[in-house]
Amino acid sequence: MAIFEGAAVAIVTPMNSDGSVNYEKLDEIIEEQIAGSTDAIVICGTTGEASTLSHEEHLDVIERCVKTVNKRVPVIAGTGSNSTETAIYLSVEAEKRGADALLLVTPYYNKATQGGLYQHFAQTAKAVSIPVILYNVPSRTGCNIQAKTAAKLFKEVDNIVGIKEASGNFSQIAELMKLTDGKIDLYSGNDDQIVPLLALGGKGVISVLSNVAPKHTHDIVATFLAGDVKKSCELQLRALDLINALFIEVNPIPVKAAMNIMGKNVGPLRLPLTEMEADNAKKLEEAMKQFGLI
């Protein structure tokens, strides 16, 4: 059984003005997400600025999320690293803190071989008992999980159950689904490609868009899975301009700006991420107005 079906929010990590984690605001936006029909919370992913959290903060944020969610929806903790030892440490500790599942990004910068990727993911997954979703995002990591490698991991490591695919390579994704007989839990990692991935047998999306439009994102998936492909496609296309604006600069710069524009006060980013350029901020605000967020 899939960890979740539908739309999981890749939730931001709110910050205070001094750059420290704002745990009270995190509680607040988690409550808003659950009220907005979000199907799962992905904590400490790319959107959550995990790369600039200390290990202590990283695990504290996961623990706080687990406590606040209180089993109402699954909590999937991002615990990937370019160091296998670190990924294992974070994964074991996240399990201890109550995470329901893990999201493991491909090692970045190292540019591991496919054999290295296999060993990295297999050893990390075998260190825990909870389910693992692989995360393939070569545009950010410089490293691609090939279909044969992902399929081998799925078949040979019991708790590797799914993959978040953000490669945009539909031929590769189709090959993966063929190699796994459609049994691997496939999630879109790109908000503009939810419907095409669902058409290949996907279970849902791990979404940036959900931070600002949780119900709409949930409905894109729910209507497709209910059999209304036409309506799902309409919802996908209606959100396209907003999605494009949310990626006009590198994620999570625009989505944090959008949430602040909406009055959610999620605070600043941690360097090396900076606030949006003025021209791009105007484009984002216009897209938000057109979508009806403000």
Catalytic residues: 135, 164
Buried b (16+ CB within 10 A) or exposed e, 140-149: ebebbbbbeb
**Do residues 50 and 11 touch, judged by C-beta distance below 8 A?**
no
What gap in Å lies between CA 6 and CA 139, rounded to an integer? 24
**Do residues 284 and 246 touch, judged by C-beta distance below 8 A?**
yes
What gap in Å lies between CA 171 and CA 152, rounded to an integer? 18
Quick one: 52 exposed, middle or buried, by C-beta within 10 A (0-12, 13-18, 19+)?
A: middle
Q: Which two tokens stand for residue 153?
A: 């991991």
The C-alpha angle 34, 162, 100, rounded to 5 degrees, equals 45
